[in-house]
């Protein structure tokens, strides 16, 4: 255990540089990266690229994706990219548990490729996909890249058998842009470049990691955030290094909070010299001073007769520029402190054990009875109703990100009523108005004939429907589970009339659900299309369930179909 953990009441190391998926902070860039990776994996096959500068979180993101990957996707994860062609093939076969024949008198490379091809065909026949992930792909030799390109040729008459994810530094893009690699480059179906964190994301990133490590309060002063961003450029690995050293320094000096000065001292120790870790603006200032100094030196040496008493000292100019920059850092920290104080204070409360209550419980007119059962924040609690043990989630964007990893979809609707919620029949988040005019957040966990059950940090409360309707602002946020491959409603006027091809997985899932409801229902042969015959079955189901009978396979119909599939789907109403 690190020496400062007890001092700050932490349970584990918050700023380790180990790529732990549990500490992944879902910034906007990470969410976009996951979307691109999922898109590439949903394609029939080919290469997927994930690039980014050193320390931006590529490996953490990759491991998170692998941890959450669906069970029908097999993964071969190759960490060592400095291998020759034979070793790469052997590693892939080993990761996929492919046994190689020992008595065939052919080269080892041919043994690997033949065995891999047979294995991929068998997996494809079982409905499985295969993904090869290679880290530090910028180190791959041209020979290995060509071998991977040839592996991507393994296919049936209609489908590619392999997805290959290359994870690397920006140099990988330059390598693939070369004329010799144009064939591989043309087979990239999805690519994304992971950027450092934005300045506005940095405070959330720090609080996220501290909370995950067990922090119950804010530890970094608001004024330290802009200084930390200036010194690290938003690169997560540098942020972790500096924050760790700053915590150690705070512990050593007996301080409970990390100041901007401690951050700057930690950065100077970790990153050698301040001038090598400043942001681009600082580097430009220093470069300009050096250029001016060099010009003055040249002028002095060349025109001593004209300027006999002039002495140029570029080292002194550099020191002065560094001093000015130091002062600018301190001034900026003071100026932004007041501006960011309120937002940072709110963010800091996210790592406390109990969220701030804007309305006293005894003044709330909606509470009928309360159970002393404390729950986590509403986003995390909503995920828990689906059996998902998630890290703390602070925003709707983060909730959408985590839900997406779990094959769920987040929806937020406005101006709806309890009848709409009954049709949805899924737990969700609601906002109720208190006496003081502030909205309080609850998780709606149950609906009965006359009452509504809500949960917040105080426990469970049961109120009558009339009181709920008067206090509720009409906004409802919930999660639901679409079938794999579903992206948009299948409509009569679109897909049916034109016989457009849709994802066969959706059609197969739909027919299985319909047969589970009515065992006398015959399976329609549709060739993977949403035909009029299937739409008619959906229309009959909608009529039976009291839904809008239009033959459209949309969200409301899918929600109702999900309830008959034998899967553990959380519901608000008790149904037969």
Tens-digit pLDDT profile for residues 97-107: 998 887 777 88
Quote the pLDDT of residue 298: 53
* CB neighbour list of residue 147: distance below 8 Å, 6 or more residues apart: 85, 88, 89
Tens-digit pLDDT profile for residues 210-269: 988 888 888 999 889 999 998 899 999 999 999 999 999 999 888 999 999 999 988 888
Q: CA torsion sign, 251 to 202 to 228 to 341?
A: negative
pTM, 2 dp: 0.54
Quote the pLDDT of residue 284: 56
d(CA 115, CA 249) in angstroms, rounded, equals 56
Beta bridge partners of 47: 164, 188
For residue 447, give the nearest of 475, 471, 426, 467 by alpha carbon. 426
d(CA 295, CA 297) in angstroms, rounded, equals 5
Tens-digit pLDDT profile for residues 399-447: 887 888 788 999 999 999 999 999 889 999 999 987 767 788 899 999 9
For residue 330, pLDDT over 90 is answered with: no
Q: Does residue 556 contact residue 547 with C-beta atoms inside 8 Å?
A: yes
Residue 298: enclosing H or E segment and its boundaries?
A: helix 280-302
For residue 19, give the nearest of 53, 65, 63 by alpha carbon. 63
Among the listed ranges 103-112, 371-380, 511-520, which one has the minimum average pLDDT value? 371-380
Of the pLDDT bands very low, low, confident and very high (cuts 50, 70, 90), residue 286 is low
For residue 144, pLDDT over 90 is answered with: yes
Query: What 3 state SS string does 107-172 have?
Result: CHHHHHHHHHHHHHHHHHHCCCEEEEEECCHHHCCHHHHHHHHHHCCCECCCCECCEEEEEECCHH
Average pLDDT (39-58) is 86
Q: Does residue 239 contact residue 202 with C-beta atoms inside 8 Å?
A: yes
d(CA 135, CA 196) in angstroms, rounded, equals 19
Quote the pLDDT of residue 215: 87
Of the pLDDT bands very low, low, confident and very high (cuts 50, 70, 90), residue 533 is confident
Tens-digit pLDDT profile for residues 344-401: 333 333 333 333 233 233 333 333 333 333 445 788 889 989 988 776 676 777 788 7
For residue 168, pLDDT over 90 is answered with: yes
Say how many Å lie between the first and final Cα of the chain, rounded. 52
Q: Does residue 522 contact residue 538 with C-beta atoms inside 8 Å?
A: no
In Å, what is the CA distance from 4 to each residue of 71, 257, 465, 479?
A: 40, 12, 50, 40
> Could you give the domains of the chain?
26-194 (3.40.50.300), 199-279+322-349 (1.10.8), 361-480 (3.90.70.10), 492-562 (1.10.101.10)
d(CA 283, CA 321) in angstroms, rounded, equals 10
In Å, what is the CA distance from 474 to each residue of 245, 311, 380, 433, 467?
A: 47, 75, 21, 11, 13
User: Distance between alpha carbon 354 and the CA centroid of its chain, in Å?
Assistant: 25
Beta bridge partners of 456: 459
């Amino acid at each position: 255990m690190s020496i400062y953990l007890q001092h700050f009441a932490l349970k584990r190391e918050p700023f380790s540089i180990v790529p732990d998926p549990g500490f992944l902070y879902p910034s906007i860039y990470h969410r976009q990266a996951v979307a691109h990776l999922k898109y590439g994996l949903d394609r029939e096959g080919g290469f997927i690229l994930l690039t980014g500068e050193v320390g931006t979180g590529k490996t953490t993101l990759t491991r998170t994706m692998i941890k959450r990957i669906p069970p029908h996707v097999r993964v071969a994860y190759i960490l060592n990219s400095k291998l020759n062609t034979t070793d790469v093939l052997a590693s892939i076969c080993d990761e996929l548990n492919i046994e190689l024949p020992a008595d065939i008198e052919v080269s080892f490379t041919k043994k690997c490729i033949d065995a891999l091809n047979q294995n991929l065909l068998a997996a494809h026949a079982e409905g499985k996909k295969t993904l090869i992930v290679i880290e530090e792909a910028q180190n791959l030799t041209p020979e290995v890249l060509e071998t991977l390109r040839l592996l991507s040729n393994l296919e049936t008459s209609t489908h590619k058998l392999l997805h290959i994810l290359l994870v690397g530094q920006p140099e990988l893009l330059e390598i693939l842009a070369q004329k010799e690699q144009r064939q591989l480059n043309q087979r990239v179906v999805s690519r994304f470049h992971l950027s450092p964190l934005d300045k506005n994301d940095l405070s959330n990133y720090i609080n996220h990691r501290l909370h995950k490590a067990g922090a119950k309060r804010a530890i970094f002063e608001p004024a330290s955030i802009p200084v930390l961003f200036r010194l690290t450029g938003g690169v997560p690995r540098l942020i972790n290094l500096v924050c760790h050293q700053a915590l150690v320094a705070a512990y050593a000096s007996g301080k409970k909070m990390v100041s901007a000065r401690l951050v700057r001292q930690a950065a100077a120790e970790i990153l050698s010299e301040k001038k090598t870790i400043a942001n681009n603006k600082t580097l430009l200032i220093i470069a300009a001073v050096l250029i001016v100094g060099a010009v003055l030196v040249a002028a002095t040496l060349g025109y001593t007769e004209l300027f006999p008493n002039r002495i140029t000292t570029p080292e002194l100019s550099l020191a002065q520029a560094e001093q000015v920059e130091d002062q600018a850092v301190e001034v900026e920290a003071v100026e932004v402190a007041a501006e960011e104080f309120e937002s940072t204070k709110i963010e800091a409360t996210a790592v406390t054990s109990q969220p701030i209550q804007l309305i006293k419980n005894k003044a709330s007119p909606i509470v009928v009875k309360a159970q002393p059962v404390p729950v986590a924040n509403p986003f995390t609690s909503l995920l828990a109703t689906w059996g998902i043990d998630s890290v703390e989630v602070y925003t709707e964007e983060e909730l959408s990100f985590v839900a997406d990893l779990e094959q769920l979809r987040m929806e937020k609707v406005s101006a709806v009523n309890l009848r709409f919620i009954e049709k949805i029949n899924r737990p969700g988040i609601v906002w109720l108005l208190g006496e003081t005019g502030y909205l309080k957040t609850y998780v709606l966990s149950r609906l009965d004939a006359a009452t509504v059950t809500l949960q917040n940090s105080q426990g469970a409360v049961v109120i009558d429907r009339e009181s709920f309707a008067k206090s509720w602002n009409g906004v409802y946020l919930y999660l639901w589970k679409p079938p794999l491959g579903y992206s948009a409603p299948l409509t009569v006027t679109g897909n049916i009339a034109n016989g457009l091809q849709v994802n066969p997985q959706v059609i197969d899932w739909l027919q299985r659900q319909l047969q589970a409801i009515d065992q006398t229902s015959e399976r329609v042969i549709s060739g993977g299309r949403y035909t009029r015959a299937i739409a008619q079955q959906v229309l009959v189901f909608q009529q039976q369930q009291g839904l809008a009978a239009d033959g459209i396979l949309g969200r409301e119909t899918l929600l109702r179909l999900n309830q008959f599939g034998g899967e553990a789907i959380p519901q608000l109403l008790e149904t037969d």
